[in-house]
């Protein structure tokens, strides 16, 4: 019998890479998808092109804000591993939609944990926690660093994080949180800053965009490659004992530097194109996030391999190729 995994957020950046990884490992993969009036399967549809893997992939309608759908799906699928990646994941948007973000990202995690507990399933649970929970606490940030969330998104994720710890301690569940620092890829959502930049570079190079409007370019982030981070998630669920881990590169880079690297790769001078727009600033900013991934390295043997410059290059190359192929905004 193949192992059975249930992934919420399977249509997202990480969900799609994780589904590919688990299918390659021989898992049967079940994914939660929400009904949308327009196409939202661009990242996972290609999996069906591989007939063998496609046969082991199953998609189910549901929503993190709808507890009944989660209870029914857990009972029906009876997974060995659950990866809770679904979230309203945009920090800026969470200021516009704090209540929804709390429901989907915070309470949604409880809905799922309770569904597992009620089903008396002996399954392992992964929670997608985030470096945003450190917020205003200065770097370097590790598993024992104090949390100081600076957005409705971060506060909702912190609630889910502590509830995951609580279910582990109260009910003896194998429930862990991966505290992941920013990770990007050609499949990154187009309104996150790295992808916004690399997509703009491709469009400017092709002569179909004139300017790139950005907010605070002094912010420092620790950017890694998403494809490598999903391997770390899987390793967390294979450990003998449940524990929480930071995944990061350990290197901080400003948004300004990421802009420079991306434009440089296309032989463009960013000063000619980038303009400041206050609309992209946040009511409270997180100035600097730089992770200390020592625990994951020592205990899981996990290490980020792709550096930020290489990441910027591969994202620019992918956006240039996508534009040339006429795929426009389709993540590949």
Residues with catalytic annotation? 130, 132, 153
Tell the smallest beta-carbon distance from residue 260 to ligand NAP (Å).
21
Q: Binding to ligand F7E by residue 219, rule CB under 6 A?
A: yes
Q: Which residues share a beta bridge with 54? A: none
What secondary structure does DSSP assign to 94-145, as a single string? HHH-HHHHIIIIIIHHHHHHHHHHHTT---EEEEEEEGGGTTTSPSSB-TTS
CA distance 281 to 217: 10
Q: How far apart are CA 87 and CA 229, in angstroms?
A: 17
Minimum distance, C-beta of residue 157 to ligand F7E, in the bound complex (Å): 7
Look at residue 9 and give the partner it binds from ligand NAP, ligand F7E, none, a contact being a CB closer than 5 to 8 Å depending on partner kind: ligand NAP
Does position 235 interact with ligand F7E (CB under 6 A)? The reply is no
* 221: contact with ligand F7E by CB under 6 A: yes
Indicate whether 183 belongs to the interface with ligand NAP (CB under 6 A): yes
DSSP E strand stretches across 112-239: 124-130, 175-180, 183-184, 212-214, 220-221, 224-225
**Pick from ligand F7E, ligand NAP, none: which does 185 bind, CB < 5 to 8 A by kind?**
none
Q: How far apart are CA 332 and CA 5, in angstroms?
A: 23
CB-CB contact of 293 with 229 (8 Å)? no
Cα separation, 286 vs 154, in Å, equals 10
Element (H, E) at 57: strand 57-61
Q: How many residues does the chain have?
A: 332
Pick from 40, 191, 284, 330 the residue near ligand F7E by CB under 6 A.
Answer: 191
The answer to the question of residue 36 lying near ligand NAP (CB under 6 A) is yes
Tokens of residue 289, six digits: 């996030």
Strands 220-221 and 253-254: antiparallel
CA–CA separation, 131 vs 217, rounded Å?
Answer: 19
Kindly determine how many residues on this chain lie close enough to bind ligand NAP according to the rule CB under 6 A: 26
Contact status: 89 vs ligand NAP (CB under 6 A): yes
Q: Which does 11 bind (CB under 5 to 8 A by kind): ligand NAP, ligand F7E, none?
A: ligand NAP
Asked if residue 86 binds ligand NAP (CB under 6 A), the reply is yes
Contact string 279-298 vs ligand F7E (x = CB under 6 A): -x-x--x-------------
CA-CA-CA-CA torsion for 287, 299, 13, 17, nearest 10 degrees? 160
Q: Per CB under 6 A, does 132 bind ligand F7E?
A: yes
193 binds, among ligand NAP, ligand F7E, none (CB under 5 to 8 A by kind): ligand F7E
CB of residue 330 vs ligand NAP: minimum separation in angstroms?
13
Closer Cβ to ligand NAP, 31 or 204, answer by number: 31
> Distance between CA 291 and CA 248 in Å, rounded?
5
Residues 6+ apart with CB under 8 A from 306: 224, 225, 228, 314
- Picked from ligand NAP, ligand F7E, none, the partner binding residue 104 (CB below 5 to 8 A depending on kind) is ligand NAP
Binding site for ligand F7E (CB under 6 A): 89, 91-92, 130-132, 181-182, 191-193, 196, 214-217, 219, 221, 255, 280, 282, 285
Binding site for ligand NAP (CB under 6 A): 8-9, 11-15, 32, 34, 36, 40, 63-65, 85-89, 104, 128, 130, 180, 182-183, 189
């Amino acid at each position: 019998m193949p192992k059975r995994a249930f992934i919420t957020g399977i249509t997202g950046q990480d969900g799609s890479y994780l589904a590919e990884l688990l299918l390659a490992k021989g898992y049967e993969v079940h994914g939660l998808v929400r009904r949308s009036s327009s196409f939202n399967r661009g990242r996972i549809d290609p999996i069906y092109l591989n007939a063998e893997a496609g046969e082991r992939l199953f998609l189910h309608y549901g929503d993190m804000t709808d507890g009944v759908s989660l209870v029914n799906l857990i009972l029906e699928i009876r997974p060995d591993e659950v990866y809770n990646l679904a979230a309203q994941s945009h920090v800026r948007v969470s200021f516009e939609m704090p209540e929804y973000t709390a429901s989907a990202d915070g309470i949604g995690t409880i809905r799922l944990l309770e569904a597992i507990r009620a089903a008396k399933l002996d399954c392992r649970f992964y929670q997608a926690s985030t470096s945003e929970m450190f917020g205003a606490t200065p770097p370097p940030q590790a598993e024992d660093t104090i949390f100081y969330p600076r957005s409705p998104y971060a506060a909702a994720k912190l609630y889910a994080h502590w509830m995951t710890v609580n279910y582990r301690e109260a009910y003896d569940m194998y429930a862990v949180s991966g505290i992941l620092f920013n990770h990007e890829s050609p499949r990154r959502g187009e309104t996150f800053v790295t992808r916004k930049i690399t997509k703009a570079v491709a469009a400017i190079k092709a002569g179909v965009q004139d300017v790139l409007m950005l907010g605070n370019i002094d912010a420092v982030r620790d950017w890694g490659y998403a494809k490598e981070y999903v391997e770390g998630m899987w390793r967390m669920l294979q450990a003998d004992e449940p524990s929480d881990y930071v995944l990061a590169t350990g290197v901080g880079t400003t948004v300004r530097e990421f802009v420079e690297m991306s434009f440089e790769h296309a032989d463009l001078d960013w000063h000619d194109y980038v303009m400041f727009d206050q609309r992209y600033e946040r009511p409270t900013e997180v100035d600097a996030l730089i992770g200390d991934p020592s625990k994951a390295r020592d205990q899981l043997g996990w290490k980020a391999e792709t550096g930020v410059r290489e990441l910027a290059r591969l994202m620019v190359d992918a956006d240039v190729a996508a534009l040339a192929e006429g795929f426009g905004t389709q993540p590949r």
